[in-house]
Amino acid sequence: MAHSSQRERITQYIQDTYGTQAEYLWADSPGNAIFRHPASKKWYAALMRVLPEKLGLAGEEALNVMDIRCSTIMIGSLLSTKGFLPAYHMNKNHWISIILDNSVSDDQITPLLELSYDSIAPKRKKKQTQPLEE
């Protein structure tokens, strides 16, 4: 196969950029994987195969979908763009689904992935700067 699928390219990009491997947590859904931040252990991306009807779309063949964390404001604007859908199986205020069928370019996806990854990085604690109350 000469051309890799968008899902394969994005998976490779995640592994190369963030050094995290896909984790396949569900025996009954071998096509579904999550990526977790190495420090916080929180998920920043989930790759799934989803039937179009579950997404409110027409078609018979399962689609490759990636859920990423996203700000509420960005979700609002992205939902008007082809290829973006309300998050499947996740909190729709904090996650968005991207259909990996090349309708959204890799160049559009990678900065969103970075935002998702950064959004769950462990926060530096601010408490230490405040003097202790006697």
pLDDT of residue 2: 46
Would 76 be classed as within a structural domain? Answer: yes
| pLDDT per position as a tens digit, 10-52 | 999 999 999 999 999 999 998 899 999 999 999 999 999 999 9
pLDDT of residue 127: 54
Q: How many domains does the chain have?
A: 1
pLDDT of residue 50: 94
Three-state DSSP at 111 gives helix
Strands 95-99 and 43-50, sheet pairing: unpaired
Would 44 be classed as within a structural domain? Answer: yes
Would 134 be classed as within a structural domain? Answer: no
Would 131 be classed as within a structural domain? Answer: no
Q: What is the mean pLDDT of residues 70-87?
A: 95
pLDDT of residue 74: 94
Given pLDDT bands bounded at 50, 70 and 90, which one contains residue 1? very low
Would 128 be classed as within a structural domain? Answer: no
What is the rounded end-to-end Cα distance, in angstroms, of the chain? Answer: 69
Inform me whether the pLDDT recorded for 131 exceeds 80: no
Q: Answer left, alpha or beta for residue 103, where phi above 0 means left and psi between -120 and 50 means alpha.
A: alpha
What is the rounded CA–CA span in Å between residue 98 and residue 1?
24
Structural domain harbouring 104: 6-120
The CATH number of the domain holding residue 41 is 3.90.1150.30
Given pLDDT bands bounded at 50, 70 and 90, which one contains residue 85? very high
